[in-house]
Amino acid sequence: MSVEKIPASVLIIGQNSEKFLKRCLDSLINFEEVIFIDGGSTDQTESICKTYSNVKFFYNKWPGFVPQRNFSLEKASLPWSFMIDSDEAITTELENEIRKVVKLNDQRIVMYRIVRTEYFEGMAIESGHGRSEYQERLFQTQRVTYTGGVHHEHLIDGKPIHDMRTLVDDFPFHVRILHDPDYNLEEMIIKLPRFSMYVGAEKFNRGRRVSFFEVIFSFVWTTIRMAFRSRNMGKRGLVLSIMKAYSDSLAKLYIYNLANFRNTSESQTNQRYLK
């Protein structure tokens, strides 16, 4: 017995996503349209996408997070859009909730926030640093755009989301998007330096400058602060706290390096480090 498709556009941006992609797309099989924007994969990402009849694959050379998100919005053809990353999947409960919202089509609510379950070393993180929390994910396609930088933000009708809170609602806390359940320290060590570089370049372009003392002090203070916040997580909390301190300090070190050893204009820095 076939299931009626959900008339919503799922938006994914990705690159070299073959490790997670089948899990993600399998969970989206009941959506009418899945838009995958590829920034230049060299693995099997495209061929995997093309095995799903509801997936529309587009190539767009990586322009940065916000332009790529907005490009995915331009490709959406349905009134509601749901944003998800390639290393995530949805539960049946979440699929049912999205189906209800799209069918009801209440124009008074423009955006819904949904909790993403975070994992580290085989355990769901429900408290402390890196905990599972609400994110803006489901929205009316024509009324939302992206702005900001690495930590992108949403605009509703061209206005910041914090000025439009009456148009935003939350799904039940237990209805979840599931992040990569196998996320571990090895993957974190690979991902964090590049992310810290993006954050550092973005802040540098906005005028942020740091002293070398701040780089060192940041690591010590952030470790202590995050360890206290994550004390209920035991040894996992300690590891996450140190990695958070490492990431923040690395971003500051990158700012220090750009300010003292690079003769780079703002536009050049954007081009070289934020793409």
| 97 pLDDT above the threshold of 90 | yes
pLDDT category at 275 given cuts 50, 70, 90 is: very low
Across the chain, the runs of DSSP E, i.e. the strands, are 6-14, 31-38, 55-59, 80-83, 89-90, 111-120, 123-125, 133-140, 144-147, 153-156, 159-160, 168-170, 176-178
Per-residue pLDDT at 198: 87
Residue 102 belongs to domain with CATH number: 3.90.550.10
- Residue keyed to tokens 């396609």: 141
Domain that residue 93 falls in: 6-178
Residue that finishes a domain, picked among 178, 208, 236: 178
Residues 113 and 149 in one domain: yes
Per-residue pLDDT at 57: 98
What is the percent of the chain with per-residue pLDDT over 90, rounded to a whole number? Answer: 82
Note the pLDDT tens digit of each residue in 156-189.
999 999 899 999 999 999 999 999 999 999 999 9
Per-residue pLDDT at 134: 97
Q: What angle do CA 36, 114, 203 make, to 5 degrees?
A: 70
* Cα distance between residue 216 and residue 67, in whole Å: 34
State the pTM of this model: 0.88
Residues 108 and 207 in one domain: no
| 273 pLDDT above the threshold of 80 | no
pLDDT category at 64 given cuts 50, 70, 90 is: confident
Pair 21, 42: CB distance under 8 Å: no
| 118 pLDDT above the threshold of 60 | yes
* Strand pairing class (89-90; 144-147): unpaired
* Cα distance between residue 49 and residue 101, in whole Å: 26
Per-residue pLDDT at 263: 62
| 227 pLDDT above the threshold of 50 | yes
Q: Which residues of 120-145 are buried (b: 16+ CB within 10 A; e: fewer)?
A: beeeebeebbbbbeeebbbbbbebbb
- Which is nearest to 93 in space by CA: 32, 173, 20? 173
Domain contains 90 = yes
